[in-house]
Amino acid sequence: MNQSIVSAIFSAQWGPRGRGAEIGYTIVDSPFGRMLVAVTARGICALSVHHSDAFQESELRRDFRQAKITRDDAAARPAADAVLRYLGGDTARCEAALEVSGTPFQLSVWRELCAIPEGATRSYGEIAARIGRPSAARAVGHANGSNPVSILIPCHRAIGANGKLTGYRWGLETKKKLLAFEQSRAGGGLFHQPNLPG
């Protein structure tokens, strides 16, 4: 995967649904709302943003239902701080590594998402064509929706064929804010949370 946003991306050593993984997580405030960061010994395995802590915790336990999951602020806080430094513009990329699991197709989609320049977007159809599967736009959308690491695997950069923002796992308002943030960074401006219309 393109590693311009993160220091390293490792393929998961655990099985489906987190089987065999030990995961610790923390929840912190971020420019986009409450942010859950979950880690293994090798890196961030899940990152979400939402206004509800309970929603994010239930989503983590659903997605990694076969893992051992504990709230462990001490273990996960360094990774969360690395994400916050990146979001705050203190670092050009997130200094924490990722450990992710996906099918070969999902991984190919996520690699292509990482190849989209900051501040730019691509349609699901364009992404499908770029990975050699031009008729798989709908499947690309499903792969986007199953991305476990928001922001750092930038599924918010995928848009509809008509240029409109489409569904986003963590809410369209969050998607709008992430795109505005990246466009501001790409343009060299300081990030501020815009008051975007619905």
Whole-number pLDDT of residue 191: 35
- Residue 129: left (phi > 0), alpha (psi -120 to 50), or beta? alpha
pLDDT band at 83 (very low <50, low <70, confident <90, very high): very high
What is the residue extent of each domain of the chain? 9-99, 103-186
> With 90 as the cut, is the pLDDT of residue 188 above it?
no
For 74-93, b/e burial (b = at least 16 CB within 10 A) is: ebbbebbebbbebbeeeeee
Task: Please give the mean pLDDT across all residues of the chain.
Answer: 87
Architecture of domain 9-99: 2-Layer Sandwich (3.30)
Residue 12 DSSP one-character state? -
Annotated catalytic residue, options 45, 94, 114, 155: 155
Whole-number pLDDT of residue 194: 32
Among 3-17, 62-76, 127-141, name the one with the lowest average pLDDT: 3-17
CATH C-level class of 103-186? mainly alpha
Condensed to tens digits (0 to 9), the pLDDT of residues 124-168 reads 999 999 999 999 999 999 999 889 999 999 999 999 888 888 878
What mean pLDDT do residues 156-181 have? 86
Equal CATH topology for 9-99 and 103-186? no
> With 60 as the cut, is the pLDDT of residue 93 above it?
yes
Q: Would you call 155 a catalytic residue per the annotation?
A: yes
Would you say 34 and 49 are in contact if contact means Cβ atoms under 8 Å apart?
Answer: yes
Portion of the chain with pLDDT greater than 70, in percent: 92
Condensed to tens digits (0 to 9), the pLDDT of residues 27-65 reads 999 999 999 999 999 999 999 999 999 999 999 999 999
